[in-house]
Amino acid sequence: MSLHHATVASALAVVAMLTGPTWFVATGDELRGLPAWRMFEDAGLGVCDVQFADETGRALDRYRAHGVPHRFVAPDALFALDDPEAARGVARSFCPEVDRVDITMRCATPEGWRPQPVAPLRCSRP
Amino acid sequence: MTLPPLTSRQAVLGLRFGFALIAWSQVGGHLHLGMARSPWHAALIVAFYIMATGLSLTWGRTWSVGTGIALALVYHVFGDHDGALQRHQVWLLASSLVWLGLSPVEGWRSPTAASWPPRRETDPGLRLLRVQLSVLYAFGVLHKLTPAFLSGDRLEAIAVEQWFGSDLPSLHVGFVAAAWATVGIELALAVGLWHRSLRPFLARLGLLLHVGFAVLLPVQTFSVLALLHYVAWCAPTTAKRRREEQALTRAWAG
């Protein structure tokens, strides 16, 4: 390969490297043929963080309530709560020790955390 | 510790075999003739394996470029069939193999061959891999310059998914610091690796970053691909440096 050919090939290679990501920055669309190098962009989307507290604001430990010694040995249904119904189901485990369980839930979107309203659980009601 | 000095030949050979291993393990495991829906599909699958075999066993640039082109076609043709074949690392591997094919391979069989290093001024293959690494980091930074990432939200969500489950500990300041540190390190790597005096420090930082990604996140193949790109920084690419390398090789050989 001559110097001239190598130079032309290198220039084309750099154009190929830059086209995909530059196109994405300019238009917001990713070319299928040329990736924009948005690695790991979808990771964590849709997951939710859920916190439980009693009526005084004291944090409630979901693992202790289920007799699980550590989060890493918890069953999936307790470890990953992805919808309000699952969160309310876990909240029931705090009854009847508390009267009311406040549930603070937020779910991950590309724009960051989005609050997910969940009504408090009143243990006295079925 | 600094980057280990390599001859161009060592660097290109190391990269070839590193890329070949990734091609066999990451793509080979997902590609077989049973996926073919037409004679063209079958031909592409067979071509990939022939090229990857040549890449593993011989020197010629044909095998490197051929494997790269076959991989790019596999990415497009079979990506919808198997998501593993349409990931970034497949495209990165394909392009890396094509760029590496531009590295000179004349005189490989003799350590003191008169034709080595070639008369050409630079090694375009290694240079392109250096450029590609900078492009990856630069656009990686650009995509992270969002409120969602810089506020730590995106890293917290990843931590929920990978580590903590739906019970995130109160470490918000740590996640914000990690987000800004990631952006700062990637920006420094995109630009600073081109600066000779900063390179030893930044190379160590880059190694730590990618090993950290591999250990903490399911990003193993991409991490090792990025690490392989650092090999391109271990060998000279300019004519002056390559003449020095040739003199050293001759003195060492005899």
Q: Does A10 contact B124 at a Cβ distance shorter than 8 Å? A: yes
List the domain range (segments joined by +) for residue A7: 1-39
Residue B44, CA atoms < 13 Å, CB-side half-sphere: 20
Residues of A in contact with B88 (CB under 8 A): 35, 37, 39
Query: In the structure encoding, which two tokens stand for residue B223, read together?
Result: 């991490």
- Amino acid in position A11: A
The verdict on A53 and A32 lying in the same domain is: no
Identify all chain A residues contacting B154, using CB atoms and an 8 Å cutoff. Answer: 44, 108, 112
Q: Are A70 and A116 part of one and the same domain?
A: yes
The average confidence (pLDDT) of chain A is 88
pLDDT at B243: 65
The stretches of A3-123 forming alpha helices (DSSP H) are 3-27, 62-65, 76-79, 84-91
Same structural domain for residues A32 and A57? no
Q: Which residue in the set B151, B161, B165 is minimally distant from A44, CB to CB?
A: B161
In this prediction, residue A36 carries a pLDDT of: 83
Task: Tell me if ipTM is over 0.85.
Answer: yes
- Whether the CB-CB separation of A123 and A96 falls below 8 Å is answered with yes
Model confidence at B100, pLDDT cuts 50, 70, 90, reads very high
Q: Indicate whether A57 and A25 sit together in one domain.
A: no
Q: Quick one: A31 and A58 in the same domain?
A: no
Residue A16: which residues within 8 A CB-CB, separation 6 or more?
Answer: A34, B95
Identify the pLDDT of residue B2: 58
The answer to whether the peptide bond before residue A96 is cis (omega within 30 degrees of 0) is yes
The answer to whether residues A52 and A76 belong to one domain is yes
Q: Does the pTM of the predicted model rise above 0.80?
A: yes
Can you tell me the mean pLDDT for A88-100?
A: 88
Rounded to whole angstroms, the Cα distance separating B180 from B183 reads: 5
**Based on the structure, what is the number of domains in chain A?**
2
The residues, ordered by sequence, that sit 6+ positions from A84 with a Cβ below 8 Å of its Cβ are A103, A105, A116, A117, A118
Residue B153 has pLDDT above 90, yes or no: yes
Which tens digit of pLDDT belongs to each residue from B170-206?
A: 899 999 999 999 999 999 999 999 998 899 899 999 9
What are the φ/ψ torsions at residue B38 (nearest 5 degrees)? -160, 165
